[in-house]
Amino acid sequence: MNLGDILTTRQIVPELAATNRWEAIDELIGALVAAGKITPENREAVTAVVKKREQSMSTGIGFGIGIPHASTDLITEVAAAFGRSKGGVDFDALDNQPVHLVTLFLVPQGQFQKHLHTLAGIAKVLRREDFLKALETAPDAAAMMAIVEQFSATR
């Protein structure tokens, strides 16, 4: 499973309004609710699970990338949202640098292997310099989605 498999244009926020990781998580979960991946009544519970995971250790992995993630029994399939911040988000990242690309993903509870494989796949494509440069200049969510699909297919 790769990023192109779990994203749609509706799950991409081309310019995050967030200035910190908590706001970014809220904004991306909002995109998942809007896309029908999370029910509105489960929004707060899912947000709490992701934030609890984030409090244990920041998922700002460095290089301008954040990958907040969690497992929950409130979804039945892997779901993801992707956001870009040209100005950068304070994510308490490992390298103390602002985060410009945030990929939030959720995995159904009990699917540990799927969780690890999804995380590894996302991290792999996000480490590609050509992918990051292309996303930096993409004008909108549709262009960003096309880039994700192109690079996910060639990983």
- pLDDT per residue as tens digits for the range 11-46: 999 999 999 999 999 999 999 999 999 999 999 999
Taking the C-alpha atoms of residue 4 and residue 17, their distance in angstroms, rounded to an integer, is 24
Catalytic position from the list 69, 100, 115, 117? 69
What is the Cα 24 distance to its own chain's centre? 9
CB atoms within 10 A of CB 13: 22
> Structural domain of residue 132, as residue ranges?
3-153
> 69 catalytic, yes or no?
yes
- What total of structural domains would you count in the chain? 1
- Looking at 35-140, list the stretches that DSSP marks H as alpha helix, in order from N- to C-terminal side: 43-56, 112-126, 129-137
pTM of the model: 0.91
Taking the C-alpha atoms of residue 44 and residue 133, their distance in angstroms, rounded to an integer, is 34
CATH number, residue 138: 3.40.930.10
- pLDDT per residue as tens digits for the range 56-104: 988 898 889 999 999 999 999 999 999 999 999 999 998 999 999 999 9
